[in-house]
Amino acid sequence: MAKSDYYGTLGVRRDASAEEIKKAYRRLARELHPDVNPDPATQERFKEVTQAYEVLSDPSKRQMYDLGADPYAAAGAGAGAGFGAGFPFSDIMDAFFGSAGGARAPRSRARRGRNATIRVELDLREACFGTTRELMVDTAVLCEVCQGAGASAGTHPDTCDMCQGRGEVSQVTRSFLGQVMTSRPCPQCGGYGTIIRHPCQECSGDGRVRTRRTIKVRIPAGVEDGTHIQLAGEGEVGPGGGPPGDLFLEIVEKPHEIFERRGDDLHCTVQIPMTAASLGTVLTVETLDGKEDIDVRPGTQSGQVIPLYGKGVQRLNETGRGDLLIHFNVETPSRLDPEQEDLMRELARLRGEERPPGKFAPGQQSFFSRLRDAFNGR
């Protein structure tokens, strides 16, 4: 019988590595498997590919083949021998399901730690310009005695004798469909495949211990109430010495006694006497940068706003600042002494306002106008 070209059948070079041969077989098995393509010619091709892989995946058979012999023919197994004892069934399952027979790997004891959130209170100045804080964090850290392994010094986890390290056990049951095999996590080792018979006394086998530690964090300028800052890897260490989670800072901005924040702008209200509003004046006002003088023009009305550009809050992750908007409230005196009352009457006489007619603002109506419109059905 002529020797088959197994390398050509798999489409690999003669010096191909074992991994390259395995990848080539997986690719062809997906295309030619009878469940995917039931054509008789394709099934015959599938048997040839399987035969080639059985020889080239075994180092001793491959060496014999490279020396000129055909191990498959010598063993009396023709191309149509079927699924014999040496048939690579696990590799076919691996080609379709990614692992032999779909078996799951044992669970790892090392798992990622949980995230943690702490609240940080800031006053307006700290939120505007940023600050550095030292925070006390109650968290889990790596056990320094066992370094996360969970076993006492000089010991190590033992392979589970129930699942033989697989992390799962199988059970065969009968049903109307025939025998059905089911798998579940090993009840003895919990699916880990190993058992810690001598746990670390410091961490009780968890691989981590709880402690308090201090971290210094830089809070950027421009944060506001409700802002969350993520500190990657500053959360608690996971079980089994797993990687740490993240720490989130939740900003809580305390109210300010003067300023009200609206986004990046600040607002405040300044009360000025009627005389200052009428004649104009210079006021000294508070800002986050210190005191500053502003000109109040003559005739300033209640509700009028003077902006101080660039005196607001630093924009988060951007350049520039918001504005400070000063709202004026003109204060009318409620009590006058006789001299002040005489002066006010004289002023009213000079301005012709002894009996002012009264003026309605646009869009407003007098009581009698509204009553008239009601009767007219408007």
Which pLDDT belongs to residue 171?
A: 76
Contact 143, 200 (CB under 8 A): yes
Give mean pLDDT, residues 302-327: 94
Q: Read off the tokens for 170.
A: 């199988």
Tell me what percent of the residues of the chain surpass a pLDDT of 90.
41
Q: Read off the tokens for 341.
A: 């009352």
Which pLDDT belongs to residue 372?
A: 58
Please determine, for residue 280, whether its predicted confidence score (pLDDT) is greater than 50. yes
- Higher-pLDDT residue of 342, 348: 342
Beta-carbon neighbour count of residue 367 at 10 Å? 7
Which pLDDT belongs to residue 178?
A: 60
pTM reported for the whole predicted model? 0.59
Provide the 3-class DSSP secondary structure of residue 185: strand
Residue type, 213: R
Burial class (CB in 10 A: 0-12, 13-18, 19+), 136: exposed
Could you tell me which CATH class the domain 260-350 is placed in?
Answer: mainly beta
Which pLDDT belongs to residue 356?
A: 72
Which pLDDT belongs to residue 77?
A: 43
CA distances from 320 to 206, 312, 314, 354 (A): 49, 9, 6, 51
Contact 122, 206 (CB under 8 A): no
116-157+196-253 architecture in CATH?
Answer: Sandwich (2.60)
pLDDT tens, position by position, 182-238: 788 899 998 999 999 999 999 999 999 999 999 999 999 999 999 999 999 999 999
Q: Which residues are annotated as a binding site for Zn(2+)?
A: 143, 146, 160, 163, 186, 189, 200, 203
Greatest mean pLDDT range, 15-19, 110-114, 227-231: 227-231
Which pLDDT belongs to residue 268?
A: 95
Which pLDDT belongs to residue 27?
A: 85
- Higher-pLDDT residue of 253, 365: 253
Give mean pLDDT, residues 289-309: 93
Q: Which residues are annotated as a binding site?
A: 143, 146, 160, 163, 186, 189, 200, 203
Contact 83, 181 (CB under 8 A): no
Which pLDDT belongs to residue 75?
A: 53
Please determine, for residue 52, whether its predicted confidence score (pLDDT) is greater than 60. yes
pLDDT band at residue 351 using 50, 70 and 90 as cut-offs: confident
The CATH T-level fold of domain 6-102 is Helix Hairpins (1.10.287)
- Higher-pLDDT residue of 247, 75: 247
Query: Average pLDDT over the chain, rounded to whole?
Result: 82
- Higher-pLDDT residue of 126, 347: 126
Please determine, for residue 290, whether its predicted confidence score (pLDDT) is greater than 50. yes
Please determine, for residue 241, whether its predicted confidence score (pLDDT) is greater than 60. yes
- Which of 336, 307, 300 lies closest to 324 in space, CA to CA? 307
**What phi-psi label fits residue 27: left (phi over 0), alpha (psi between -120 and 50 degrees) or beta?**
alpha
Give mean pLDDT, residues 49-57: 87
pLDDT band at residue 175 using 50, 70 and 90 as cut-offs: low
Please determine, for residue 99, whether its predicted confidence score (pLDDT) is greater than 50. no
Which pLDDT belongs to residue 86?
A: 45
- In angstroms, the CA 104 to CA 56 distance is 27
- Higher-pLDDT residue of 324, 344: 324
**DSSP secondary structure of 83-126:** S-TT--HHHHHHHHHSSGGGPPPPPPS--PPPPEEEEEEE-HHH
Which pLDDT belongs to residue 376?
A: 58
Q: Read off the tokens for 282.
A: 């210079």
Query: By mean pLDDT, which of 175-179, 288-292, 323-327 is the weakest?
Result: 175-179
Domain ranges within the chain, ordered by starting residue: 6-102, 116-157+196-253, 260-350
Would 116-157+196-253 and 260-350 be classified into the same CATH topology?
Answer: yes
Provide the 3-class DSSP secondary structure of residue 240: helix
Which pLDDT belongs to residue 365?
A: 56
Give mean pLDDT, residues 254-276: 93
Please determine, for residue 37, whether its predicted confidence score (pLDDT) is greater than 60. yes
Contact 214, 135 (CB under 8 A): yes
Alpha helices in 214-337 (DSSP H): 274-279
pLDDT band at residue 141 using 50, 70 and 90 as cut-offs: very high
Greatest mean pLDDT range, 90-104, 325-339, 361-375: 325-339
Contact 306, 269 (CB under 8 A): no
